[in-house]
């Protein structure tokens, strides 16, 4: 055995290992960054998906209110047919609020679309309020069993709208904060995670309107 060759071979192996160390370090950093990026991406996907699903609940609650209005109008008309102008205003506002283009798809919750949606819903709320005020002039109508049932359903629906709206704002707000945080915003920008528009209530609309007959 040639003992003189051992130090030379050992030196060569050591030099070879040293050459690979930077590559190993770079590979490890790439792996860690990729793992972090995947984790962030999955978190954003989950938060965005949860907020979008909640928006569907918001629209469903508003639709429930719209579905109750034809029965309300029909009942009022039976007792107060001469409230024609008020009834027509409600019908027109309902038609506006239920247009296909008013409903926001889960992928299009933008400030512009949200403003259009809110305007239509607030218009319906206003016309509905005027109708309910006119009902006060008709004691027999207020005592009608159908009216009492509608009262209960409308109250429940207005409360549900308020609850679902607040839940949406909480979930969408959390998602919006996440995509703006550093360094999460790097992945958010690269993967096109855009902010979700929040529901901005009109002054005083944070409280569910009272439905009284």
User: Is residue 213 included in any domain, yes or no?
Assistant: no
User: Is residue 165 included in any domain, yes or no?
Assistant: yes
* CA 211 – CA 136 distance, rounded (Å): 12
User: Is residue 201 included in any domain, yes or no?
Assistant: no
Question: What is the domain count for the chain?
Answer: 1
pTM: 0.79
* CA 146 – CA 75 distance, rounded (Å): 7
Paired tokens of 155: 């109250």
In order along its 213 residues, the chain shows pLDDT tens digits of 444 454 555 666 666 667 777 777 787 888 888 788 899 999 999 999 999 999 999 999 999 999 999 999 999 888 887 788 999 999 999 999 999 888 888 888 999 999 999 999 999 999 998 988 888 888 888 889 988 899 889 889 999 999 999 999 999 999 999 999 999 999 999 999 999 999 886 655 445 445 444
User: Is residue 209 included in any domain, yes or no?
Assistant: no
Structural domain boundaries enclosing 141: 11-190
Paired tokens of 128: 């509905």
What pLDDT, on the 0 to 100 scale, is given for residue 213?
A: 40
Q: Please provide the size of the chain in residues.
A: 213
* CA 69 – CA 55 distance, rounded (Å): 22
Beta carbons of 110 and 196 less than 8 angstroms apart = no
Paired tokens of 206: 């944070």
User: Is residue 137 included in any domain, yes or no?
Assistant: yes
Instruction: Please name which of 132, 151, 155 lies closest in space to residue 207, comparing C-alpha atoms.
Output: 155
What pLDDT, on the 0 to 100 scale, is given for residue 17?
A: 67
User: Is residue 98 included in any domain, yes or no?
Assistant: yes
Say which CATH number the domain at 26 has.
Answer: 1.20.1440.20
Beta carbons of 193 and 147 less than 8 angstroms apart = no
How many other C-beta atoms are found inside a 10 Å radius of the C-beta of residue 170?
13
């Amino acid at each position: 055995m040639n003992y003189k060759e051992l130090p030379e071979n050992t030196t060569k192996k050591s030099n070879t290992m040293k050459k690979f160390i930077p590559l190993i370090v770079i590979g490890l950093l790439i792996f860690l960054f990729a793992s972090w990026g995947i984790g962030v991406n999955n978190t954003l996907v989950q938060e965005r998906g949860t907020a979008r699903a909640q928006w569907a609940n918001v629209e469903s609650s508003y639709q429930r209110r719209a579905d109750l209005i034809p029965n309300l109008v029909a009942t009022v008309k039976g007792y107060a047919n001469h409230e024609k102008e008020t009834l027509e205003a409600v019908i027109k506002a309902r038609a506006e609020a239920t247009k296909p283009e008013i409903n926001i798809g889960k992928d299009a919750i933008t400030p512009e679309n949200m403003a259009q949606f809110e305007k239509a819903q607030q218009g319906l709320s206003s016309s509905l309020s005027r109708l309910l005020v006119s009902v006060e002039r008709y004691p027999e109508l207020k005592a009608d069993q159908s009216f009492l049932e509608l009262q209960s359903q409308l109250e429940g629906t207005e409360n549900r709208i308020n609850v679902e709206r607040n839940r949406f704002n909480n979930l969408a707000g959390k998602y919006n904060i996440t995509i703006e945080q550093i360094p999460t915003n790097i992945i958010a920008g690269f993967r096109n995670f855009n902010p979700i528009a929040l529901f901005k209530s009109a002054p005083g609309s944070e409280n569910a309107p009272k439905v009284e007959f």
